Amino acid sequence: MLSRRTFGIGLATLGLSACGGVTPPPVTARSSSALPADLQPVPNANYDAWVAAFRTRAAQQGISQATLNAAFRGTGYLPGVVRRDRNQTEFSRSLEDYLAIAASDERIAKGRAAFAKHRSTLNALTARYGVDPEIITAIWGLESFYGARRGNVPVISATSTLAYDGRRGAFFERQLIAALRIIQNGDIPASQMTGSWAGAMGHTQFIPTSYQEFAVDFTGDGRRDIWSEDPSDALASTAAYLQRNGWTRGLGWGREVTGVASGGVLQPQAGGPRFATTSNFRVIKRYNNSDAYAIGVGHLADRIGGAGPLRGSFPPDANGLTKDDRIALQQRLTARGFDTQGADGVIGANTTSAIKAYQASQGLSVTGTPSPQMLSALR
């Protein structure tokens, strides 16, 4: 099993960690009015006092009063940001489930379409930075579903709320200062700087300090615009990030290994596929320090490039069900009126709710846990 603590970026933000077969709606607006109620600013006198003291510290670090005034205009304390930060749990998901979401049929199809649409830009990035175009596209796909889910939470409100909250105060104050420098540099107006609840921004979800260090102006318009509908700067920034972290031109990320293999092979899930990885696999992990994430990027990149599914099989899960069994269970529950909101073989919140409803309807113990006996009963 693979564990990953989310930071509001990457797969967590885009519905992979919370997904379980459920895909959040695409971002269709950037205004705060489109946000849930708990991500709207609320009065908080202690937060206001913290901001007043912070403004002095920021000014001492070279942030102008004009920037501070623009950045904090209309912002405020966001209780939902604190709630999300406090409720991050260490979760375990099998590699099989992870890849079912990360390299779903929909994500592959949209990735191939995005690759074709932006082929000239991607080829130019490969020429400049040496990073495979499929890898860049796959990271884009995992981080924001090819730009559809960039996040619309005001970054200044989010990072200042988390800096004030104090659980990771020093870290988020650094992110807040970096965000203010981005605004002061003219890369984006304060009112348009949006991202995830934890401040990750743009098509490929850069936190402010990473943006400062790695973002590039590929279009040459004087702004490193990772928020634009045009993803060029964001994709270039991702390529630059990988290059500067040691990407080797012309070297793959790795490959699935079948049959007898020598040492150095990675097998994240017992009984599942094995992978021989390269130094570029470790570079991908610099983007997100997770074996599952790096395999997800590599495998999705391969599928975008035309490769087929993994050849190795995964063993039954802890409940004795294979992926095909879980898909059949979801299909049969839905057919009986207990809608699982899709059949991808991943037992997430919607499937668990459907199972509970079915169990209750049958007078069974309501556990939400699937089983081979349940599958048989639903035949």
DSSP per position, 213-266: HH---SS-SS---SSSSS-HHHHHHHHHHHHHTTPPTT--SEEEE-SS--SSEE
Report whether pLDDT(263) > 90: no
What is the four-CA torsion angle of 104, 107, 113, 114, rounded to 10 degrees? -150
What pLDDT is recorded for position 260? 72
Looking at residue 34, its pLDDT comes to: 75
Q: What is the mean pLDDT of the chain?
A: 90
pLDDT 10s digits, 154-195: 999 999 999 999 989 999 999 999 999 999 999 999 999 999
Class of domain 2-93+148-231: mainly alpha
The residue-averaged pLDDT of 103-131 equals 98
Do the Cβ atoms of 249 and 130 come closer than 8 Å? yes
- Average pLDDT of 312-324? 95
347's tokens: 């037992």
Q: Please state, in angstroms and rounded to a whole number, the distance separating the CA atoms of residues 28 and 322.
A: 37
> What pLDDT score was predicted for residue 141?
98
Quick one: which of 6, 3, 44, 2 has its CA closest to 196? 6
pLDDT tens digits, residue range 215-232?
A: 999 999 999 999 999 999
- The answer, yes or no, to whether residue 18 has pLDDT greater than 60, is no
Integer Cα distance of 373 and 132 in angstroms: 46
Confidence (pTM): 0.88
Reported confidence tier of residue 93, pLDDT bands at 50, 70, 90: confident
| Interval 61-66 mean pLDDT | 98
Strand partners of residue 42: 77
Evaluate whether 315 touches 270 at the Cβ level (below 8 Å): yes
Sequence-separated (6 or more) residues with CB below 8 Å from residue 153:
35, 39, 78, 81, 194, 195, 196, 197
The predicted-structure confidence for 126-145, as pLDDT tens digits, reads as follows 999 999 999 999 999 999 99
pLDDT of residue 31: 41
* Residue 328: how many other CB atoms lie within 10 Å: 17
Q: β-strands 265-266, 274-277: how paired? A: antiparallel
pLDDT at 145: 97
pLDDT in the model for residue 287: 94
Task: Write down the pLDDT at residue 88.
Answer: 67
The mean pLDDT of 188-210, rounded to a whole number, is 96
How confident is the model at residue 91, as a pLDDT? 57
Residue 313 reports pLDDT greater than 90: yes
- Calpha distance 225→248 (Å, rounded): 26
CA separation for the pair 214, 205 (Å, rounded): 12
Mean pLDDT in residue range 97-102: 96
Give the start-to-end residue ranges of the domains of the chain.
2-93+148-231, 323-377
Q: How far apart are CA 193 and CA 199, in angstroms?
A: 9
Task: Give the model's confidence band at 196: pLDDT under 50 very low, under 70 low, under 90 confident, else very high.
Answer: very high
Place of tokens 């634009």: 228
- Residue ranges in 265-379 assigned as alpha helix (H): 279-287, 291-304, 323-335, 349-361, 372-377
- Residue 87: pLDDT band with limits 50, 70, 90: confident
255 backbone dihedrals φ, ψ, rounded to 5°:
-160, 155
